Structure 1
Amino acid sequence: MTAKTRQQEDQGEEIMADSSQVVKMAKKAFLSGKTRSIKFREKQLRQLLKMYEENEDQILSALATDLCKPRQEAITTELEVLKNDLLHIIYNFKDWAKTEKPSKSAVNILDEVRILRVPYGTVLVVGTWNYPFLISLQPLAGAIAAGNTVVVKPSELAPDSAEVMAKLVPKYLDPTCYHVVTGGVPETTELLRERFDYIFYTGSTEVGRIVHRAANQHLVPTTLELGGKSPVFLDSTADLDVAARRLLWGKCVNAGQTCVAPDYLLCSKQVQAEFVARAKALLRDWYGKGAIGSPDYGRVVSDKHYWRLTKLLENASVAVGGETDASVRFIGPTVLVNVKPSDPVMQEEIFGPIIPIIIVDSVFEAIDFINSREHPLTLHIFSKDRTVQEMIVSKTRSGSVCINETLLQMCVSSLPFGGVGYSGMGAYHGRHSFETFSHKRSVFVKNYNRIGEKLSASRYPPYSEGKTSFLKFLLKHRRGVNLSCISYFVVFALGVAAAFAGSALAQVISANEDET
C-alpha cells in the first residue's frame, strides 16, 4: 500500500467519523425533546432572522466571491427572499402546528379523532451552489418550524458561502440541534450513508437519482428539487417590449444559473425576428458596450461549467451575443436561432445565459413539443390571450406555471415550489416548507363508557343480518354532511335505541329457545 493510498484511507475514515458524530449529536438532541417546544422553535427562527440582519455584508461578500453576484441581485433574489419567507413562517407556524380536529361520521360519534403535526426527526438538507444561502437555509427554516433537528450540507462549488454558513449557524442557532457540514463529494457521500429521518436535496437530476437511491436504503422520505428545460411560449398577442425585458432579465439574473430560468423559447418566425431586435437593443441599454465590463452581470461558477456552456455554442447560429472569456469565466447573454430539437443545446438543462429559439407555427405545435419532453420545473407563457394561457396550462405538466413573467413565482411564500417527474418531487416555501418537514400523525381515542360499548356491540359475533344492517347504517358516508351537535344527538339516540332494542330482542329469542 502506498503512502498516498494510506493517507486517502485515513482521510476517508476521518470524514466518516465526523459525519457519524454530527448525525449522532443531532439525533440525541431530537430525542431530548427540546425541539418539540413551540417556544424553542420560535426562538431559533428569530435567531436565524437575526443572523441574516447582522451579517448582510459578510453574506453579500461571499456571494460576490463565489459567483460575482451583483449586490442588487444578491439582496433581492437571495437575502430578502430568505428574510420574507422566514417572517411568513414566524408569523404563522404556531397556527400551522395546532392539532387538527377533523369531522366525524355517525359511527365515531362518541370517539375523539385528531391529527397532530409532528416532526420527522433529524433532517438532512443538501444545498446547491447557484443560490447557496437561499437554497440551503430556506428549507432549514421550514425544518426548524416543524420541530426537527437539521444537518445542512452546502455546496463545495460556493466555498466562501459554505464557510460563512458553517461559521454563523452554530453562533446563532442551538449548536446541538443544527449543524453545517462543509466539504465535497466524499462528505456528501458519507452523510448519505447515515440514517436520517428525512432528506431534502436541491441540484441536478443525475445526483438526485443518487440521493434517492441512498434514501431508499432506509425507506427515508425525500424531497428532490431538481431542474430541467423550462420552456417559454411567446405569441404575437404579448406586449413584446415588456415580454422581452422580463424574459431576458430572467435569463441574465445570476448569469442564467437559476433552476427556473427560461431555458428555450418557442415562437413563430415573425415573433423571433421582433424578439431578436428587441434583445439587441435591451442588452445595449443594460450593459453598455458589453456585459463583460458591467458590474451588474455575474459569472459562471466554475471552469467545468464554463467549458460545458461554450461547447453548446459550437457550430450554433448566434443572433445576439456569443461573447466568451475563459480567464474570467464570462459568457455573455446569447440568443441562438436556426435551432433544431436534436442540437446539443436542446439535450440538457442549459443553466447559463443562452436562449435557443425553436420555431413553432401554432400553440398546438408548442404544446406537442413541450409534451414530447420531460416535465419541466416551470413553464412560462407570454400571451394576452386567456384562451391560449388556459390551453397550455391544461394540456401540459410542469412543477409550476409563470404567465407573462419569469422567476417571480419563487418570491410568493404562499405558493408551493417544486417539480414533477424528472424535475423533482415534493414542494416547499412558507407553509409548504412546514408541511414538508411535518408528519401528519392521526390519533383515535375511544372511551370505556357503557353506552358507547352498547352502541358498537353489533360488531361482535355472533353475526346476524340485523347487526349488519345497523352497522351499514352507521358506516355509510353521507355526502356533504358534517354532523352538527343536534344531528349527533339524534343519530346517537337512534343508535342507542337500536342497540337496546337489538339486545332486548336477543334476550327474548334466547328465552324462547330455553323454553323450547
Structure 2
Amino acid sequence: MNDEITPAVIADPLDAKVNRLQSYYRSGATRSIAFRKGQLHKLRNAIHQYEPQLLAALKQDLNKSELEAYSTEIGLVLKEIRVALSRVRRWAKPKRVRTPLSHFGASSQIVPEPLGTTLIIGPWNYPIYLMLAPVVAAIAAGNTMMLKPSEMAPATSRVLAALIGEVFRPEFVALIEGGADVTTELLKQPFDHFFFTGSPQVGRIVMEAAAKKLIPVTLELGGKSPCIVHKDANIELAARRIVFGKLTNAGQTCVAPDYLIVHKAVKQQLLSKMASVVEDFYGKEPILNPAYGKIVNERHFHRLVSYLHDDNVGHVAYGGQIDEAACKIAPTFLEGVSLQARVMQEEIFGPIMPFIEYEQTEDIYATVQASPKPLALYVFSGSPEFQQEIIGRIPFGGGCINDTIMHLATSYLPFGGIGTSGIGSYHGEHGFKAFSHYKGILKQSNLFDIPFRYPTSKWGLAIIRKLLR
C-alpha cells in the first residue's frame, strides 16, 4: 500500500458509473452470502490497513484525538462488520410464516432481497462511521452502491476514496467526491434507494428528488434533542455523562444533548458539577487542550458565536471563550435563555448548552413540544415511574435513561429519527432491513384444489363468510 493517498479517478460520466453499478447488480453477482461476507472481510482488512491515514485525516478535519476517533468512528464500523459477518446468513434466510385456513394446502414465507443500486450520502461530523456503517449494511443486504462523502471533511474524503478504490471493483462500489453540485447531479440518477445522513434542510431536498422518481429513502437527520434532569437524579454521575455526550466531537454530534431541562431544585448543583467535569476532562482552558475538538469550519464557528450575542440568551454561566484562528469554542453553559432565542430555535451542533428550569412535569412537555420531534432524548432520574412517563409521552427517535449518546453505539438497537428528525432506521439487522425489500410468497399445493373460491360454487359465499369473519 502506498503511503501517499491519491483517490482513484474514473473518467466515465456519472450516468455511466451508475449504469455499471446497476448492470453488476442485475448480473446477480452480489446475491450469494459468500460474496457478501467476502466483501465485508475485504472492507475490514482495508480499515485496519488504512487506520493511520484515517486517524490522521480525522485529526486534520475535526481535531479528533486518537481515542475519540477510534471509539466513535473506526471501532464502531468494525463492530458493525463483525455483527454482519456473524449474522448475515440468518438475516438473509427466507422466513416461514403462518398461513390462514382459507389458504389450506399452501405455505407462506417472507424472502429478503436487495433493493438494488443505492446512493449513500455521508456527513462531515462523523465522516468515517456515518459513511461506512451504511455501506456495511448495504453490502450485507446484497446491493451495489454509489458513495458521496462530505466535501466539508476533505482529508477524510480523500482517504475514503483511496480505500474504496483499492478494495472494491468500481461496478460494485463507486465513490465520487465533490460539492453540492455533484450531489445535485447524483440525485437526478435512477437509483433504487437514497440513504442520506445530514441536516433536515438538505434532507428535504433529497426527499423531494426521491419523490419525483418514487425512490424510497432513509433519512438520518437531526434536531433539538433534550436532556431532562429530574430532582432525584444522581447529579455527579449525570454531570459526567452529559458533558461526555455534549462535548464529544465538540458537540458536533447529531444525537448530542442539545439543551438541558433541569429541575429548579438541582440546577445550580448540576451546573457547578458540569463545570468541574469539563475541567477534569479538558483542563481549565479547554480551547488550549489539543484533545479538544474544533468546529469544522469558519461558517459554523461564526454561527455558534452569534448565539452568544443574542439578546434573548440571558447570560453565560460558564465558559464562552473562543479561539477564532483555531476554530474552537470553549464549553459554554447558558442561563436565563428564552425559548425565542436562536439557540433554542435551531439545532446547536456545537459545545453550547442552554439550561432551562422546570418545576412541574408539564413544563417539560411544553418546552420539548415547542420544537419538532427530536432525534434523541435523555432522561436522568432515579424514579422508574418518572422515566416511563417521559419516555411514554414524548415522541423521539431513540435515547437513553441515565446516560447520553450511547444508544448510537450498539448494533442491536435501531437508530433513526421520527418526523423531521428522520425516516427509517439502521444498525445491525435494522441496517440489513433498511437496504432490503421483503417479498411475501404464497406457495400453493397442486395435489388438490379448493372449489368454493370459484364463482360456480353453490356454497362458496357461506364457507368464505365463516373462514374470514
TM-score (norm 1): 0.87
User: How much has 1:353 moved relative to structure 2?
Assistant: 0.3
* CA distance, structure 1, for counterparts of residue 404 and residue 14 of structure 2: 39
Q: Does 1:459 align with 2:453?
A: yes
**Does the residue aligned with 2:213 lie in a helix, a strand or coil?**
coil
**Does the residue aligned with 1:210 lie in a helix, a strand or coil?**
helix
Asked if 2 retains the 8 angstrom alpha-carbon contact of 1:393 and 1:401, the reply is no
Asked if 2 retains the 8 angstrom alpha-carbon contact of 1:279 and 1:320, the reply is no
> AA paired with 2:407?
Q
User: How much has 1:288 moved relative to structure 2?
Assistant: 2.0
> AA paired with 1:164?
V
> AA paired with 2:350?
G
Partner in structure 2 of residue 502 of structure 1: none
Q: Does 1:240 align with 2:235?
A: yes
**Does the residue aligned with 1:318 lie in a helix, a strand or coil?**
strand
Partner in structure 1 of residue 464 of structure 2: 471
User: How much has 1:113 moved relative to structure 2?
Assistant: 2.1
- From 94, 107, 110, the equivalent of 1:112 is 107
* CA distance, structure 2, for counterparts of residue 81 and residue 112 of structure 1: 40
* CA distance, structure 2, for counterparts of residue 419 and residue 66 of structure 1: 26
* 1:6-405 alignment runs, 5 A limit: 18-315=13-310, 316=313, 317-405=315-403
Partner in structure 1 of residue 424 of structure 2: 426
For residues 160-197 of structure 1, the C-alpha deviation after alignment (integer angstroms, 9 at most, x for no partner) is 11111111112122332001111110110000000100
> AA paired with 1:201?
F
* CA distance, structure 2, for counterparts of residue 15 and residue 66 of structure 1: 25
Moved over 6 A (4+): 14-17
* CA distance, structure 2, for counterparts of residue 140 and residue 274 of structure 1: 44
Q: Give RMSD over aligned pairs.
A: 1.6
* CA distance, structure 2, for counterparts of residue 367 and residue 115 of structure 1: 41
> AA paired with 1:458?
F
> AA paired with 1:429?
H
User: How much has 1:16 moved relative to structure 2?
Assistant: 11
**Does the residue aligned with 1:232 lie in a helix, a strand or coil?**
strand
User: How much has 1:289 moved relative to structure 2?
Assistant: 3.0
> AA paired with 2:58?
L
Stretches of structure 2 lacking an aligned partner (at least 5 in a row)? 1-8
* CA distance, structure 2, for counterparts of residue 470 and residue 270 of structure 1: 68
* CA distance, structure 1, for counterparts of residue 24 and residue 141 of structure 2: 15
User: How much has 1:54 moved relative to structure 2?
Assistant: 1.5
* CA distance, structure 2, for counterparts of residue 391 and residue 269 of structure 1: 19
For residues 344-389 of structure 1, the C-alpha deviation after alignment (integer angstroms, 9 at most, x for no partner) is 1101000000000111112221123212321000001011111110
* CA distance, structure 1, for counterparts of residue 451 and residue 275 of structure 2: 80
> AA paired with 1:318?
V
Partner in structure 1 of residue 3 of structure 2: none
Asked if 1 retains the 8 angstrom alpha-carbon contact of 2:345 and 2:371, the reply is no
Asked if 1 retains the 8 angstrom alpha-carbon contact of 2:399 and 2:405, the reply is no
Partner in structure 2 of residue 497 of structure 1: none
> AA paired with 1:402?
C
Percent identical residues: 39
> AA paired with 1:473?
K
User: How much has 1:457 moved relative to structure 2?
Assistant: 1.1
Asked if 2 retains the 8 angstrom alpha-carbon contact of 1:306 and 1:329, the reply is yes
**Does the residue aligned with 1:36 lie in a helix, a strand or coil?**
coil
Stretches of structure 1 lacking an aligned partner (at least 5 in a row)? 1-13, 477-516
- From 440, 446, 451, the equivalent of 1:448 is 446
* CA distance, structure 1, for counterparts of residue 193 and residue 206 of structure 2: 11
User: How much has 1:15 moved relative to structure 2?
Assistant: 11
**Does the residue aligned with 2:441 lie in a helix, a strand or coil?**
strand
> AA paired with 1:296?
A
For residues 249-300 of structure 1, the C-alpha deviation after alignment (integer angstroms, 9 at most, x for no partner) is 1111100000000000001333221122112222222222311211221000
**Does the residue aligned with 1:101 lie in a helix, a strand or coil?**
strand
Asked if 2 retains the 8 angstrom alpha-carbon contact of 1:15 and 1:186, the reply is no
* CA distance, structure 1, for counterparts of residue 109 and residue 276 of structure 2: 61
Asked if 2 retains the 8 angstrom alpha-carbon contact of 1:124 and 1:152, the reply is yes
* CA distance, structure 1, for counterparts of residue 464 and residue 93 of structure 2: 33
* CA distance, structure 1, for counterparts of residue 378 and residue 177 of structure 2: 35
**Structure 1 residues 387 and 16, CA gap change in structure 2 (3 angstroms):** farther
**Does the residue aligned with 1:35 lie in a helix, a strand or coil?**
coil
> AA paired with 2:278?
L
Q: Larger helix proportion, structure 1 or 2?
A: 1
**Does the residue aligned with 1:461 lie in a helix, a strand or coil?**
coil
Asked if 2 retains the 8 angstrom alpha-carbon contact of 1:44 and 1:174, the reply is no
* CA distance, structure 1, for counterparts of residue 426 and residue 302 of structure 2: 33
Asked if 2 retains the 8 angstrom alpha-carbon contact of 1:66 and 1:159, the reply is yes
User: How much has 1:443 moved relative to structure 2?
Assistant: 1.6
